[in-house]
Every structure is written in structure tokens, then in C-alpha cells.
Structure 1
Amino acid sequence: MTDVEALSVKLEHLGFAEPKIKEVLKNKKVAAAFNDILNVVSVGKDEKRAALLHNLASSSKDAKDESVLKKRNEVAAAIADSRIKTNVQLDAAWKWAQDLHSGESLDQAAGVGIEVTRDDVEREIAAYIAANKAQLEEERYKALPGVMVAAKKIDALKWANPADFKPVIDEQLKALLGPKDERDLVKKKAPKAKPAAKDAKKDEPEKVSATAMFTSGFLGNLHKTGENPQANMERMAEHLKATKGQVFTRFPPEPNGYLHIGHSKAITVNFGYAQFNKGKCYLRFDDTNPEAEEERFFTSIRETIEWLGFEPYKVTYSSDYFQELYDLAEKLIECGGAFVCHQTAEEMKASRGVTDGARGGERVPSPWRNRTVEENLTEFRKMRDGHYKPGEAVLRMKQDLNNPNPQMWDLVAYRVLNAPHHRTADKWKIYPTYDFTHCLVDSLENISHSLCTTEFYLSRESYEWLCDAVDVYRPAQREYGRLNITGTVLSKRKIAKLVSEGHVRGWDDPRLFTLVAIRRRGIPPGAILNFVSTLGVTTAESNIQHSRFENNVRKYLEDTTPRLMMVLDPVKVTIENLPEDHFEEFDMPFGKNDERSRKVPFTRELYIDRSDFEESAGKEFFRLTASQPVGLLKVPHNISLKEVKKDAAGNITELVCHLDNDIPFKKPKTYIQWVPECAAKKSPVKIAETRVFKQLFKSENPQGNPDGYLADLAEESEVVHKHALVEPGFYDVKENSPWVTGEHTGKEKKGSPESVRFQALRVGYFCMDKDSTEDAIVLNQIVSLKEDNQKK
């Protein structure tokens, strides 16, 4: 076994997934350091300690001094026995290891045994803020970086979790200073303008053709139909006769969970490639595990594909082919390619050289590998007829245990399951595995391009082996890089825990990246298709930042969403110099390039957002103050403040203003949105709940948190506003949604709440939530207007 293979085995034993192992092995210095560390410590599967050991290997990759390396081993041992639990401790421990003159012990240097709680952090930060109150009130939020630095220097917080600092400081500064406003904006110096070229056009985001992904890169270089190799060319002739040379693809989800953002790429690749080449794509449910399948998953998957705008050529099920698969299993036995095995799952792993989850040991054939064909047929039929209980017998493929590819180590083809199937009821007592089913059903459906993600690369060899062994047409499996989004989790197991523990509303919570959640959040299917197209398709994984995804959605919405006026936190405005029955209407377009428009009533009473008024404010506050008028969007005159009314608690309840229609017009510093009070026009539209979302996790890699991904959950990832108001144009938008239809926009159902979306001017993009009723409208924020939005 090579050093690389040995390290791979160790990392697998530590709990690293294959992509993480590849990442470690890419950096030879880190890999060498990690190997040395794992030669002196032994740690079982432990995500937290594995991450710390990886960080130690990265930090020490250039260390050569024997004394430093000896101390590094002490640090590794402290991680292994859980004395060192955090990256803060690890940083201090590595500094100790490099200081050959330190008189401290490792435990002293790394704060072993010292626990600093969130309450401790809150108490110490509060004391610092109280001691520096005057300075903070003067500098306001510009002081935030300094407070962060100072907090980290507080002795009592030396061993605190750094992730606790910012949320605590943000919370306490907000309590002291109130929300951010124009005083907290940092002015940027405008760069000197360069002379414009004569025919220069305004910078625009690069537009990518919706079909470009099919003409270049991975998909553009795929084989033509009929070019995929065959062991028996007669099978190719049969295939071409059946397909008439058309492209045939398939999307084969397992109906045991909800699809996520990564599946949107697989759907677009498979359905889109067939569509582009005037071929056909199957939706095939891989329903070979009746214990995990539920009707809600079948329904959700079909609805999601339709929502994205694709129509399957046929909807099929692996179970449609159970009899054909059984017949092929007997054929495989008859040609000496399969045997019935009675090893337990653990014995099977051990015979493949797998110990404690790690590969690398000696591979030993099953004692039942050399049964006769007749004996195997008899035993297999006994499996079929219910003579064996689950785990007592399996049918295994007779492949090549000496092959370095683990997908050739006598994979299981059939197992006994005493579970009723949703389509075949209790007809079958045995069910084929994915490894047996996938390639053969591809063959039976005459798939020309079996497109899947790169984690199935090793499976290609067993895929082709099985097709050739039973002498059927061999489809061509080809692998592309999967799509991942950072800053979230996509694992079914992890999402299930978020749901069961009440951290989110359900599998369709808009903060998640399941496709049902993305749909509920109001992201249009066209935005998903556009996003996948801009990424293109290669063999490399696409690890896309959460913010990049949102920015792509934002650009799509900018061109496809009607604009309305909305106030999240309304305060009433009465215009004193207008009569009580004053009524006029202003024609307002729904968008810059939208020919459609609506009429908005203008009356004596209206509402503005509370944040758009300050009784006294600095010169950088552009909105309404006691001495500064403000413009109302589309209204030809400004308004000026005359009186502020408050309740007994000092809260502003009403602003009495003057419409400046009796003085020469002067352009205001800015215009603000407003919502009229007009019962005749059903205005304002009252919103029961407006849910504003932020990223569910604090970091880009929640799984990397030493305390687990749940410890990385962000506070206030959902903020609910209870009193928002929207102008009556909302009813026009609701009646005419989905607002944009056509090619590459998906297929949204008229009347579906998530299709009712709009841009709330100066606020963000919103859609209706499924919790809405006739009497209570609930809105979800899709994305903010800008990545870092600040009003002026």
C-alpha cells in the first residue's frame, strides 16, 4: 500500500468524506504533516477532533525542528484526549509548541479546563461598553471594529468562543445606539471618471445564453448517439433501431426525501440536454428501497420538475422492471457471474478489507463464492420465495476482489426485505440494489447518455461490467461536477434534525436550500435555470457562495418583477392643508421597462416608514426631519413637518405635515415610498406577517464548526414584522401572477402564493407565503434589494 493510500485509509477512519480526503491529499505538505500526526495519535470518527487535527496539520506543515515537532505531537495528543476543544486553544497551543523557551506547560498555555460561557461574554462586553459609553455614543457604529479588537484583549475572555463576540456586541450596541442610520454610513471617494469612449455603453452584467451550457464544455463534448462502446455491437444496432438515433436521458431520483439545490443542476442537465438535442428524458423513480419511500416524496419530485418547466417523456419506476431484473439476475448466475452469500454485513466488510469503516486490509473471497450454478439458482429462488429472513442471504456479483476499485469487490445485487412495496405490494420478498438496478434499467430504457455526478465515477466500471456480463446494450455513463452551496447544509439527516428540533419551520422553510424551500421563499424557477446556465457544466464541483446565489436571483428579479410601495414599520402622516375628502390618482408603472401600470390614490392620510423620519438628524440624513422636507414618490410636491404626535410612552403615533404646493418647487434630497389611506380603493393592504430572512448559519462552512453544525446556527435568521402595509396595486399583481411567463422561465401555477412576488421599493423583494389566508396575508422576503442595503 502506498503512503497516499495509507493516509487515505487513516482519514476515512477519522470520518473524512471522499471530497475532503482529496482536498487534504492535494496539498503534499499538509498531507505529510497529517500523516505524521496520525502516526502518533489514534482518534475514531469525530468531526470536531478531526477538524482540529486538520488545522494542526495545516499550521505545522512547514515545521522542521525536531523539538517543535515533538511538542506538536503533545498538542495532537491533547486534541485526541479532548483537552483541547476549540480553535482558540489550538492557536495558543501551536504558539506554545513553536516557543522552545516557554516555561509554561501545554495545559497552562492552551487554557485547558477553563470554560467561558456566553453569559460571561455578555457580562464582560457590557462592562466594556459601560466604561466607554461616551466615546461609543460619539463614534456610533464606526467604533464597532475597535470594540471587536478590544473584546478579544479582555483577559477574562481569552478562552471564549470567538463566534460569540460579534452577536453579543451587535446586540449591545444596538441597545445603546438604536438602529443604524445615515450617521453610520462610510463615504467612499468617487474614483476619477475616465473619458468615455464615443460609443461606450453602460456596464451590464454579462448575459449567458440559456442553451450555452449544452454547446460547450462537458455537455458540448459528449459522444453522439451510437458512439458509445459495446462488447457486442449487435446490441448497439438494436438500440439505434429502438431509438431512431435520438438522445435519451433520465433523471432517476430516490423517492426518500425532498430534492435540494444540487438536484436542480441534475434536472437541468438531464432534461435540458435531451430537450436541446430534440431527444427525450425519462423521470424514473428509483423505488428499490420500500422501507424509506413515501408518497409525499413522489409527489414533491414530480411537482418540482414541472415547476422548473420540464415535461418527462415518460414517468417510470425501477419497480416497473422488477421481473426483467429478476430474469437478468438468473442470467448472471447462469453465466457464473453471481452467487448467493450468507455472510453478515460485518463479515462482508471484513472480507473486503474494511475495518472500523476504513479500507486497506486484506481482501478475502466469501466462503460461498464458488458454489455451483445450480446451487446458486436454487438458493436465489429460495430467497425469492421467502425462505430467508433479511440479512440471512444476499445475491452478490462475482467481480474482481483484486481490482483496486471498491466498486468491483463483489457488490450485492439482491437482498431480502420483508416490506410491502407501494406499487407491487407483497409480491416480492427480494429487492435489487442500486448497483444492480441502475445500469440495467438504463439499458432497458435505451438511455444514450447516463449523466450523473462525479461521486459515481468509480461506479462506471461496475456499471459497464454488469451490462456486458448479461449481454445487454451498454449505455454510456458520464460524470459531471455536482453543485454545492456554502453557508448551508444539504444532508437529509442534518435537515431532518433541524426540523425535528424546531430550528426551522419544516423541510420547506425558506432559509433552507431544499427546492420546496426555495420555491416557498419565492425564488422563480427561471432564476434557478438562469443560475445553473451561468455556472456551466464541467467535471469540477461547483462550490458557490450563498451570497453569489442570492445576487444571481436578485439580478433576475430586477428584470422580471413588478414594483410596489410598501412600508415595514408604518407611521401615520396627515397632510394638514388638504381637505378630508381630498382624492387624486397618480399613474405609476410597474417597472422601468414594463408597459403595465396602476393608479395609486393620494389622499389626506397616508403612511411612511418609521425609519424615514428623525426629529433631529445630521446633515447626512436625507429624509424627513423637523427642518427638512422630503419627496413622496410620484407626488409633484414635497411634504414638510409641522407637528409630531406621541403617546404617553413617548412613541410617535402621527406626523402632521404640510404639502408644499403653495411655494416654488425645490428638488428634495431624496424621495421615499408611501402607502395611502383610501377605503374606496381597499388601501392600505394590511400584512399579517412579513418574514425577513438572513442566512441560517453564521459561517460559510457550518459543518466545520468544532461544536457541530447546530452550534453555527445564526441568531435572528428570521425577523417577523407584524404591521407592514402595501399599496393597493398589490391586488393587480396578485391577479396577474405569475408576472412573467415564457421560455426558460419555468412553469408556475396561476394562483400559487409563491408566484405572487414584487419588488417593494427601497425595501426588498417579496412573495406571498402559503400560510396566507383570505383574511391574513403573509409575505416572505426573497432577497434584499442589495447585498449590503442602506437607505439614504
Structure 2
Amino acid sequence: MSAPTGTTELPERPKEAKPPKKKTAKQPKDNSAKNANKGPKKQAGGAAGVDVTQDPEFMFKVGFLADVYQERPISDKIPKVITRFPPEPNGFLHIGHSKAIAVNFGFARYHGGSCILRFDDTNPEGEEEKYYKAIEDIIHWLGFKPIRVTAASDNFEKLYQLAEDLIRRDGAYVCHCTKAEIKVQRGEGTGGERFPCTHRSRPIEESLTEFRAMRDGKYKPGEAALRMKQDLENPNPQMWDLFAWRILDHEHKAHFRTGSNWKVYPTYDFAHPLCDSIEDISHSLCTTEFELSRESYEWLCDKLDVYKPMQREYGRLNITGTVLSKRKIIELVKKGYVRDWDDPRLYTLIALRRRGFPPGAILSFVNQLGVTKAKINVQVVKLEQTVRQYLETTVPRLMVVLEPLKVIIDDLPDDFVEMVEVPFSKDPSFGSRKVPFTKVVYIEKSDFREVDSPDYFRLAPGKTVGLMKAPHPITATSFEKDPETGEIICVHAKYEKPVEGLPVKKAKTYIHWVGESPAHSSPKRAEVRAFNQLFKSDDPSAHPDGFLADINPDSEQIFTNAFIETGFDEVCRSAPWPKEQNKESGEGEGETKAKEDGDASMVEPYSIRFQGMRMGYFTVDTDSKPDAIVLNRIVTLKDSAGKS
């Protein structure tokens, strides 16, 4: 049979078509998605009273993943648990991928097995070296280490031979139909009636000849494709003769690893199950949009009589109030709404790393949500709350003044300096540092009011406040204004050192401060970037004028003249913070690198994290330099909003 004229355009793979309705036993109601935005609970399910926030392996002990293991436990036939994480190297991973990483690497580790990082590089379009490197790097940052790194392209020759074998087994044929013709064959416009294309019954030898012609470049892209001969009567669209191999245009984009060696490439539906088989994957864990694909996955392994891994599907993780699609993020970058893929307002993993989210906090977030079949939509505030809880007891505390207001304590000598000891944390194991308390200190602009009120407890004319850890409080006596702008530029105060025979003045509240002492290099100047949500709504994509119309114009606030106390140097020297963040995984390097004590050169900027007392949690940005410090605010403090 000769190939007819015309072009074959491959139809999009139907991933989310509804499966046929079947009568099944009634299942317990799954409220995981409904409860996703609630705080973490002590969960039952065989482990009553267990606080999931304190047990990073909880999701493997009970529930969905425990049931998956029981379906195929270690045995003589399955001597070891082997999983895989198979990303496409055509973009940066986002927060949703953190669940897939935690599930696949964590499941293998919990059962004493191993996980393979396999790049699904079956489509050269958009695949670049930087994505290969970035994906592997972010997996290590999360604390995981693959047993080996592979790629689908490693197996192209073997996959090609399996394709020929499938043809010989009468399980595949070369098709020359157009995209429109295939849609009609699959029931579009025919009331759902499906019928085979004219090439389905061509002789096996003819399909072999045509497939080799495809391989040898005798057809242009779209003129021919290899399709699996499945079951058109099956109600599952993933059994409607899916494409197995297609021709791609090398003149437009060569494959990063194989160059122009191949004219034909396997599809995901062909390569994925067979690569799982080749690599002896025991449990192929993926998200529920591939649930219908399980039937074609198993059909292909059975048809070729090869080892068949067990595929099971769990609900994916989505974050509301942002966008995760590659196309939309590219548009945000190109139009200047964000700096790049690692802009801290995005929810790519490299952006969250730059913002200062600890890897352990991200894994804790995934663990708290648990794993079920339900698709989970989680508000951003839930993720931020998890990060806040994680940092609360694991990072040191410093004094950072975002909008400095000068305070002159008039009754102290000009050369007055007292070194005040300030603990790094409530936990004494963090140690302490000494900071200079001087005649001139800087406080937050918002900590002074020109006009006092009964419900205001910070500094105002005639009012007394304490300076954190300073020996005695101060009382504001007067203030100065800029004659042109009317802005308060300086406050004068009295030092309330006790005088014998007079009542001791006590402060009702305490504020943070930074002393001015050039001899101690205090204060340290910094630029601080504080972030709000990039979009105004929970669903930017639903905006009638497009997602860009939902952009929040106030998503970033930059404080260009912030002050940091001198304890910052010690925090940098002793980083990374938190110290124990890699215990969740116990495998990869995470952020901890071998270094000499006090050597900050081996520390990544984003691993320097601390609490700015009363102001939030901060990290050092990658733009930072020794003489030009740049900080990112990771999250605000839990109860910082609305304080008077």
C-alpha cells in the first residue's frame, strides 16, 4: 500500500478525557482537597495522635502510599523498590513538582529502595542544557540524591527495536492520516462512532518498510507516524490507537543530547512505560491526569511481553493565586513584570529558593497535605504559614530597621558606647552577640508618632519605650521635621537611667533598634525587598481580560536604605540556617556544604536566613555583594499585621 498524499499532523494527546462510568463499591469520602487550606492536624489512620509536622515520613506510613506499597511489596519477584522522577527538560520545576519529587524519592527511601532521575527528552522542542542542570540542582537542594541520572534518549535505539518488534506482533502500523481525519476516526462529528483508518490493516512488512523510511528521513514531519494498534471499541480514549513514533523537524531544533542522529522520536505514551520497564521500576507513581493512561501503559508492556511496572496515580498539587504554566511565566518575564524565572514572587522552585524558603519547609508542607487521589488546590497563605512555623525555632534573630528614623539620646555623651549582649534566639544553644548601644540609634519610622493616642504604646512625645535588651528605656522629648517635606527626620529623647530617690520609669512596650558606631561598622546598610502576591485574585487565569490584567502593582516594595545590626556578620559566618533542614530527606547535600568554621565563601546566599525581630524572616538575595547587601523578606511574622 503506497502512502497517500497529504500531511499527518499529530493530534494532541487526550490526557484528561473522562473515563467510562463503572459501578464500583462506595468509597469513603475524601475530604483532603476540602481541608487542604486548614492548619496541620494530628491525623489518625493507624497512627492516632501523630503530629504530621513532626514526622516527615508520615505520608508513607498510612493512607494512599502505604496502600500502594501493599499492592506490590518487596518479594522474590520485586526484590527492591525502585521509583523514578521523570521531568521534561524544557522548563524550571515549580512548587507542584515538589510533591512529585517528595513522593517518588521519599517512597523509595522509606522502603529501602532507590529513585532514578530520568529526563523525558522525547521532544527536542524547548529542551535546553540549562534545564537539565537546573532540575538536577533543585533535586539536590531539596535534599535528595538519585541513584543515577538517565534520559529517555539513552534508550532510543532500544525503543526503536521494540517499535519494530511491536509491528511484527501486529501491535503497530504506520499511518498517513491528517489531523482532521484522525479526529473523525475517533468520533468527532460522527456522534461518537469510531472507525479504523485505512492504514490500520496494511501488511506487517509494509509497516516495517514504511517505519524504516520514516527513520531514514524519507518523510517530512507530519507525513507519517507510527500508531499503536489498540482497541477502538474501548471507551477509554487512551486506547484509540495512540501515536508511538513521529517525525520531528531537525532544521528547526536538534536534540540536545543526540543532535540530528534521529529523524523519528518516540512519544511519551510509548517511551514512558518502556523506559520504566527497562529500568526495572517497581512503582511508577504519577499524577491522576495519567490515570486513563494506565490501561495503555499496561497494554504496551503486555503486547511486547516485557516486565510490567505497577503504575498508580495520586492527586496533583496546585497553588492558588499564582500561575505555574511555562507559557505564562515566559510572558511575565518578557513583558518585565518579573525579573526572571527565579523572581521571588513566582512559585518556581528556583524562585522560592531565592526568596529564602528552606527545602525542609517545602517538604514539610507536602507532608502536611498528605497524598490521596484528590487534586489539591492550596492557598499561598498555607504554604507561607508552613514556612513561618518552620523558621520560627530554627533561625537566629537580628534587629533590622527597614525605614530608619534617627533618635538622639541627648543626655548621653557624644562618645558613649555600651556593648549590649543580645541572644540570637530564645533557645540558649544559638548563643549571643554584642551590639553597640550609643547616643544615636535608629528605630523604625512607624515606631514614632507625632500625636499620641491612648491605644498607641510605642514612641511619641512624652512617652517611654524600651529598646530591646538596652539597659534602660528612653522617653521622647521632641522631634525635628524637614522644612520642605514636613517629614519627621529626627527624634530627641531622654535616657531613663534610674536616679536614686526618684521613681523608676518603666516601659510598656519594647522596640528594635540599631546603634550608630562607625568603630563597630554599625549600622550595616542594605536594600530590602518585601514581597506581596503577584496577582490580586486567587485565580488570575479566570480574569476576563487575561491573567496579566490581574497583576498586583504593589507586589514588591523595596526599602533602599535599611539598617542591619552587626550580628549579621556572625549569622553569615555560621550559615546555613536552619542547621537541620536536611533531616527530612537524609540523602542529598541540600544547602550544607563542607566548609571550615567561619568560612562564609562556601555558603549560598539563600541559606543565610534569620528573623528580623518584629519585621519578618529574611534571607540574602543572589544580587547581594559584600559592599551592597540585598535582603529578601521570606515571609512576615505571624502576628505582625495590625500591631499597634
Give me the TM-score of the superposition, normalised by structure 2: 0.87
User: In the aligned structure 2, how far is the partner of 1:486 from the partner of 1:283?
Assistant: 28
The answer as to 2:91 corresponding to 1:257 is: yes
The answer as to 2:549 corresponding to 1:727 is: no
What pairs up with 1:453-602 in 2 under 5 angstroms? 453-595=287-429, 596-602=431-437
Question: Paired residue for 2:488, among 640, 647, 652?
Answer: 652
User: In the aligned structure 2, how far is the partner of 1:642 from the partner of 1:266?
Assistant: 60
Partner of 1:211: 57
User: In the aligned structure 1, how far is the partner of 2:488 from the partner of 2:536?
Assistant: 35
1:709-765 Cα distance to aligned partner (Å, 9 max, x none) = 222222201111111111011111111111223312771154211111111111111
1:613-652 Cα distance to aligned partner (Å, 9 max, x none) = 1121211110111111110000121111233122222222
What pairs up with 1:154-553 in 2 under 5 angstroms? 207-224=53-70, 240=77, 245-354=79-188, 361-419=192-250, 420-553=254-387
What pairs up with 1:670-685 in 2 under 5 angstroms? 670-685=509-524
Which consecutive unaligned segments of at least 5 residues does structure 2 have?
Answer: 1-13, 20-49, 593-601
Q: Considering Cα pairs closer than 8 Å and 6+ residues apart, tell me whether 1 or 2 has the greater RCO.
A: 2
CA contact (8 A) 2:578 2:609 kept: no
Tell me which amino acid in the other structure corresponds to 1:417.
L
User: In the aligned structure 1, how far is the partner of 2:339 from the partner of 2:183?
Assistant: 39
User: In the aligned structure 2, how far is the partner of 1:711 from the partner of 1:360?
Assistant: 39
3-state SS of 1:706 partner: coil
User: In the aligned structure 2, how far is the partner of 1:683 from the partner of 1:216?
Assistant: 53
CA contact (8 A) 1:208 1:534 kept: no
CA contact (8 A) 2:89 2:120 kept: yes
| Compared CA separation, residues 404 and 496, structure 1 to 2 (3 A) | same
| Compared CA separation, residues 525 and 311, structure 1 to 2 (3 A) | same
Query: How far apart are 1:774 and its partner, in Å?
Result: 2.4
Question: Paired residue for 2:439, among 576, 585, 604?
Answer: 604
Partner of 1:622: 457
Partner of 2:626: 774
3-state SS of 1:782 partner: strand
The answer as to 2:621 corresponding to 1:786 is: no
Question: Paired residue for 1:748, among 578, 582, 591?
Answer: 591
3-state SS of 1:414 partner: strand
Query: How far apart are 1:223 and its partner, in Å?
Result: 3.6
Query: How far apart are 1:583 and its partner, in Å?
Result: 1.6
1:577-606 Cα distance to aligned partner (Å, 9 max, x none) = 211221221111111114221111111111
User: In the aligned structure 1, how far is the partner of 2:505 from the partner of 2:73?
Assistant: 73
The answer as to 2:476 corresponding to 1:641 is: yes
Q: Which has the larger radius of gyration?
A: 1
User: In the aligned structure 2, how far is the partner of 1:645 from the partner of 1:741?
Assistant: 45
CA contact (8 A) 2:531 2:556 kept: yes
RMSD of aligned C-alpha atoms? 2.1
| Compared CA separation, residues 422 and 314, structure 1 to 2 (3 A) | same
1:653-693 Cα distance to aligned partner (Å, 9 max, x none) = 22221111144433211000000111222111101x21111
| Compared CA separation, residues 300 and 556, structure 1 to 2 (3 A) | same
Residue-pair matches, total: 579
Sequence identity (%): 55
In proportion to residue count, which structure has more helix? Answer: 1
Partner of 2:467: 632
User: Which deviates more, 219-228 or 342-351?
Assistant: 219-228
1:40-80 Cα distance to aligned partner (Å, 9 max, x none) = xxxxxxxxxxxxxxxxxxxxxxxxxxxxxxxxxxxxxxxxx
CA contact (8 A) 1:250 1:447 kept: yes
Tell me which amino acid in the other structure corresponds to 2:446.
S
Which consecutive unaligned segments of at least 5 residues does structure 1 have?
Answer: 1-15, 23-203, 229-235
Query: How far apart are 1:294 and its partner, in Å?
Result: 0.8
User: In the aligned structure 2, how far is the partner of 1:503 from the partner of 1:593?
Assistant: 41
CA contact (8 A) 1:762 1:791 kept: no
Give me the TM-score of the superposition, normalised by structure 1: 0.71
User: Which deviates more, 638-647 or 676-685?
Assistant: 638-647
Query: How far apart are 1:366 and its partner, in Å?
Result: 1.2
CA contact (8 A) 2:481 2:488 kept: yes
1:306-349 Cα distance to aligned partner (Å, 9 max, x none) = 00000000000000101110010000000000000011223222
1:419-466 Cα distance to aligned partner (Å, 9 max, x none) = 222111221111000000000000000000000000100000000000
Query: How far apart are 1:226 and its partner, in Å?
Result: 5.6
User: In the aligned structure 2, how far is the partner of 1:373 from the partner of 1:671?
Assistant: 84
What pairs up with 1:696-735 in 2 under 5 angstroms? 696-735=534-573
Tell me which amino acid in the other structure corresponds to 2:226.
L
Tell me which amino acid in the other structure corresponds to 2:492.
V
